[in-house]
Amino acid sequence: MKAILIEKPGDESVLKLGDAPDPVPDPADLLIKVKYAALNRADLMQRQGFYPPPPGASPILGLECAGEVAAVGSAVSGWRVGDRVMALLPGGGYAERVAVDHGSAMHVPAALSDAEAAALPEVFLTAFLNLFMLAGVKAGDTVLIHGGGSGVGTASIQLLGLADVRSIVTAGSDAKCEQCLRFGADVAINYNSGPFAPKVRAATNDRGADIILDSIGGAYLAQNLEALANGGRLVLIGLMRGAKAELDLATVLRRHLRILGSTLRTRPAAEKAEIVSAFLDRFGDALEAGQLRPPIYKTIPLTEAAVGHRMMQASEHFGKIVLQVA
Ligand SMILES: NC(=O)c1ccc[n+]([C@@H]2O[C@H](COP(=O)([O-])OP(=O)(O)OC[C@H]3O[C@@H](n4cnc5c(N)ncnc54)[C@H](OP(=O)(O)O)[C@@H]3O)[C@@H](O)[C@H]2O)c1
């Protein structure tokens, strides 16, 4: 099959279309004929050699895709050849075919195009896992999301809106802040126009945010603690600006704060199946109704994956960049 291969870790130019062996599905797997795959920030890190796939996962890039079921494993029920499918992948999306545990797959609702479906699993399940399952967000809360215009950020804005949670986002320009507000964020803060923490406190009557979904890490730690309400939770999902920082433990103690961290990709298939199932229990109706819909910034051919990586690196996108595979 055709796939995007990495000759050796490096910049976008190492991404080349080539031939890869067809995946060999396990009895619990679906074999998917990929129509679209979406880019994620982690793909850029993997391309540079900083984020190796978990043991047993495909070395090919691609954490989510949509397409058609090409074969159903002997231990799988509820799926037929030809069904529309979208899936969370530990790797392998930038290819014509991929095999995945059926617990990581979801039926594509009629309301979504294949391109939209491909852009949904990784970012919506990340937002759902961290905000709803780990941080326990509830109606009436206020959540601060860093990178409001990112794939995960836009998914978070949609899920929180449906759950009656107030969302405050940060973004790197006034134009992106405007896009976040139009997309449903309640407050948007340009992080290039001064510290964000006082603005979060001002937007919450000095109470602070109940939860922060943080993909920035070290450089934001002190401000994140300042922006949290007493009893608040800092949920760490990325380290775009560093893995190290000094932590004032007295603040954590005195203000009853909690710091959580998680990754989705490295979880065993059974845990991913539980996350998918909990997501569908909570948001399945909204999904069917077309209320969950990733904004697609650009769709580009698989052969031009390098163009997509350059776009994402420059953070010019709002929402998702999608590769057309078939
Ligand atoms: N732990 C997990 O399981 C998990 C799963 C999925 C994603 N993630 C993480 O979640 C984050 C978002 O992923 P994504 O694929 O949705 O990313 P994305 O669409 O590429 O968006 C990331 C956004 O972050 C902002 N940004 C980039 N560099 C920044 C910096 N140095 N300081 C402040 N903001 C910066 C940019 O927006 P502006 O233009 O506004 O600056 C950019 O658009 C990544 O860190 C990713 O690794 C974690």
- CA–centroid distance, 250 to ligand 1, in Å, is 29
Q: What's the rounded Cα separation, in Å, for the pair 27 and 103?
A: 12
pLDDT in tens, 104-152: 999 999 999 999 999 999 999 999 999 999 999 999 999 999 999 999 9
Tell me what percent of the chain is helix, strand and coil, each rounded to the nearest 5: 35, 25, 40
Q: Which residues line ligand 1 (CB under 6 A)?
A: 40-42, 122-123, 126, 147, 149-152, 171-172, 176, 215-216, 237-238, 240-241, 262-264, 312, 315
- CA–centroid distance, 215 to ligand 1, in Å, is 6
* Residue percentage of the chain with pLDDT more than 70: 100
Task: Report pLDDT for 229.
Answer: 98
Probe ligand 1: pick from 39, 40, 174, max atoms within 8 Å of CB? 40
Q: Indicate the pLDDT class of residue 71, thresholds 50, 70 and 90.
A: very high
| CA-closest residue to ligand 1 atom 11 | 215
- Domains of the chain in start order, with CATH, are 2-120+294-324 (3.90.180.10), 124-261 (3.40.50.720)
Token representation of residue 126: 């990340």
- CA–centroid distance, 152 to ligand 1, in Å, is 7
pLDDT in tens, 226-265: 999 999 999 999 999 999 999 999 999 999 999 999 999 9
- Taking the CA of residue 321 as reference, the ligand 1 atom at the shortest distance is 19
DSSP code of residue 261: E
Q: Coil, strand, or helix at residue 154? A: helix
Task: Report pLDDT for 243.
Answer: 97
Token representation of residue 312: 């994402």
pLDDT in tens, 49-66: 999 999 999 999 999 999
Q: What is the mean pLDDT of residues 259-283?
A: 98
Longest CA–CA span in the chain (Å) reads 58
pLDDT in tens, 307-317: 999 999 999 99
Q: What is the mean pLDDT of residues 313-325?
A: 98
Task: Report pLDDT for 315.
Answer: 97
- CA–centroid distance, 212 to ligand 1, in Å, is 14
Q: Indicate the pLDDT class of residue 199, thresholds 50, 70 and 90.
A: very high
| CA 91 vs CA 88, 243, 256: distances in Å | 9, 24, 38
pTM recorded for the entire structure: 0.98
Say if residue 7's pLDDT is above 90: no
